Amino acid sequence: MPTRTQSVITIGRKWSRLLRNYALLGLVGILGILLLPLLIVSHRFQESFFAFVYVILQRHMNDEVSEIRRFLMSHLDSLSSQEPSLKAHGSVRVLEVGAAYGPNLEFVERPIEYSVVEPNRSFKDSFMENIKKNSKVELKWLIFGHGENMSMLPDGHFDAVVLFYVLCSAKDGSKLLSECKRVLKKGGHFLFAEHVAHKKGTLSRFIQDLLTPLTKNFGCGCHLNRESGVLLRSAGFSRIDINTADINVPLMFSHNIYGVATA
């Protein structure tokens, strides 16, 4: 059992991290407002800005989201590929949509044949650096495009599809989920995590609603107030398990859902 002193220290560290992250978000917000004209008129500049900010924020908030990432990626360990050649080598075929710079790669602990569909080319250099750090990951395809249209990928091709913190910025969330389900093998696993809207009528939801018009321009379409759980439940998976968690990050992103669905 932790002592009272240890508990106080732990709580102090959590508050310290939270305040640090609020300060960091404040700086990002000020910078975004100063650059808003450029962000609005140039999608390419918006992508570069988002990639720069995303890497910084994710690395500063890694302690808070890493447990969700670790829990979900561990589901790959129990999968058995339906592809005989991969099964013989103990590997599985995985697609990640919106991999960004690859923060999930450190949690891959078994051989995978890995493909990516990523809408933002500005992540390419940091992604390629990150993928070299895990020898268990064999990169098959790196495709720059949107998950709403993955017509270049065949039906029923992947043992697992990974979608972490992407639905908030999807132009058509229902179409994106439909495409993810299409490329999954029957019985394949869909791993997901999203920051979602707080309950209507709360102060947290009011702040999300207030800031979403700005974050749509700062964050390549990120909607803080999107109710992605509704989209996931109506996507037509044969089974879906959704967990909720309120994590120790600024309230705009603190309400999270995560889980596993079966095609």
pTM of the predicted structure, to 2 decimals: 0.91
pLDDT band of residue 162 (cuts 50, 70, 90) is: very high
What is the C-alpha separation between 131 and 152, in angstroms, rounded?
23
What is the C-alpha separation between 18 and 176, in angstroms, rounded?
32
Mean pLDDT of 192-218: 94
| Residue 193 structural domain | 4-262
Structural domain count, the chain: 1
Between 10 and 100, the higher pLDDT residue = 100
CATH of the domain at 18: 3.40.50.150
Q: Would you say residue 8 has pLDDT above 60?
A: no
* Order of strands, sheet of 255-262, starting from the edge strand that comes earlier in the sequence: 137-144, 112-118, 92-97, 158-164, 184-195, 255-262, 239-246
- The helix, strand and coil proportions of the chain, stated in percent and rounded to the nearest 5, come to 50, 20, 30
Q: Token digits for 232?
A: 């996931």
Predicted confidence (pLDDT) per residue in 19-42, tens digit: 888 888 889 889 988 998 999 899
The terminus-to-terminus CA distance of the chain in angstroms comes to 42
Question: Across all residues in the chain, what is the average pLDDT?
Answer: 92
Q: Which amino acid is at 45?
A: F
Q: Would you say residue 7 has pLDDT above 70?
A: no
Q: What is the pLDDT of residue 2?
A: 54
Quickly list H helices, the chain: 4-34, 36-41, 43-60, 62-73, 84-88, 124-131, 173-183, 203-218, 228-233
Q: What is the pLDDT of residue 6?
A: 45
- Given a contact cutoff of 8 angstroms between Cβ atoms, the answer to whether 237 and 224 are in contact is no
